[in-house]
Amino acid sequence: MEPIEIIDIIAKGESSTVQFKERLPHPDSLAQEMAAFSNTEGGIIILGVNDKTGALNGLSFQEIQSTNRQLVDVATHKVFPPINIKTETVTANGQNIIVVYINEGPGKPYKDHNGIIFVKNGSDKRKVISNEELMRILQSSGNIAADEEPVANTTNNDIDIDFFKSFVQKKTGKSFDDVGQSLPQILNNMGFAKNDKLTLAGLLLFGKKPQAFKPIFSVQCIAFVGNDVAGKEYRDSEPPFEGNLSALYDKTMNFILRNLRRVQVEKSFNSLGELEIPKEALEELVVNSLIHRDYFIKSAIKVFIFDNRIEIISPGKLPNRLTIEQIKLGTSIVRNAILFSNARYLLPYIGVGSGIPRALNAYPKIDLVNDADKELFIAVIHRT
């Protein structure tokens, strides 16, 4: 890193990815900082900078030598699992400063020697105390997936057997009876059950009443008068939609379509007119919300229709530092692998990351928002 870069970073102050230390803190405190960076987005610790004033207080040659040894010792013996760090000494304004680079780790969650998990919270850090957040950390490292988890109190009897048999025919090209396996065997082999319990994927795709076990995994649709979510006047609203993902898709699309205007594109007054927003774009975004939402977050998908826009709000930010720019180009990271690989047989869905580009190609007036703080992904479709 060049000296001018260091000076610029210091001038901007601490953040969720930048921490200042005048000298090394206690090893236990340093381990907590390293674990927090590793569990979040990574970052740098700059040693030789006062964290209150930003003033430089460079390290001597002897301090540089001992500090590097201590940094490696903490990263190796005080953080569990151990992490790899990179250090660099930069001379800025005649002062020697150590920059410690810590990457977001692939083995999350990282803990201190007491087994406590820390994450960054702005320029500070905090303990992880909720199981839900721990699950999301495990999910982001690829160690666990929500749709693979068995759902308590479910059995094979909770699936819609006729609907499931139709799916088996579409996926395998064989009738259910010709597959030559029992129902429990097929469900377990396809990832829709674990032993005698349905997985979340099995329940969401084929359950008779998924919301009897997971009531929050519904879709709430409201059409407002005006453009303010705080408005109290509605054009259309219903109780949260329930059912399997196919039913949720159908009900959500029907709600949106019945609240859209039709635009007259031909001279004849008898022509039906075209939807103000192409159905194809809406299909892609609704399916995307059902398949790619974060099912570790206990919240419903929300569809808000305003006079000037439609918002489709999905629980969960983009996974693994995926960006809006990347998904516009078709890059995808699979969060719910079982749902992802089987939805194409049940929904108008192709997969392979092409949904967002197709939606934008059909209707460019779409803004995508990745709200990391609120753990939301929002598609804003502007109405003409």
CA distance 341 to 321: 22
> Tell me, what's the pLDDT at 235?
94
Q: What is the pTM of this model?
A: 0.78
Closest CA to 193 of 181, 297, 349: 181
**Tens of pLDDT, residue by residue, the chain (384 residues):** 899 999 999 999 999 999 999 999 999 999 999 999 999 989 999 999 999 999 999 999 999 999 999 999 999 999 999 999 999 999 999 999 999 999 999 888 999 999 999 999 888 999 998 888 888 888 877 778 899 999 999 999 999 999 999 999 999 999 999 999 999 999 999 999 998 999 999 999 999 999 999 999 999 999 999 999 988 899 999 999 999 999 999 999 999 999 999 886 665 555 667 899 999 999 999 999 999 999 999 999 999 999 999 999 999 999 877 899 999 998 888 889 999 999 999 998 766 567 899 999 999 999 999 998 899 999 999 998
Angle at 36 between CA 33 and CA 37, to 5 degrees: 90
> Tell me, what's the pLDDT at 63?
96
CA distance 176 to 184: 12
Closest CA to 278 of 384, 125, 163, 170: 384
Q: Identify the structural domains of the chain with CATH numbers, from first to last.
A: 3-129 (3.30.950.30), 219-382 (3.30.565.60)
> Tell me, what's the pLDDT at 352?
58
> Tell me, what's the pLDDT at 249?
97
DSSP assignment of 350-377? --TT-HHHHHHHH---EEEEEETTTTEE
CA distance 335 to 55: 43
**Furthest C-alpha separation in the chain:** 87
Residue 234's SS3 state is strand
Closest CA to 40 of 71, 12, 16, 13: 16
> Tell me, what's the pLDDT at 266?
60
Angstrom distances, CA of residue 33 to CA of 24, 111, 126, 299, 354: 11, 10, 10, 31, 38
Please say whether the beta carbons of 284 and 358 come within 8 A: yes
> Tell me, what's the pLDDT at 265?
65
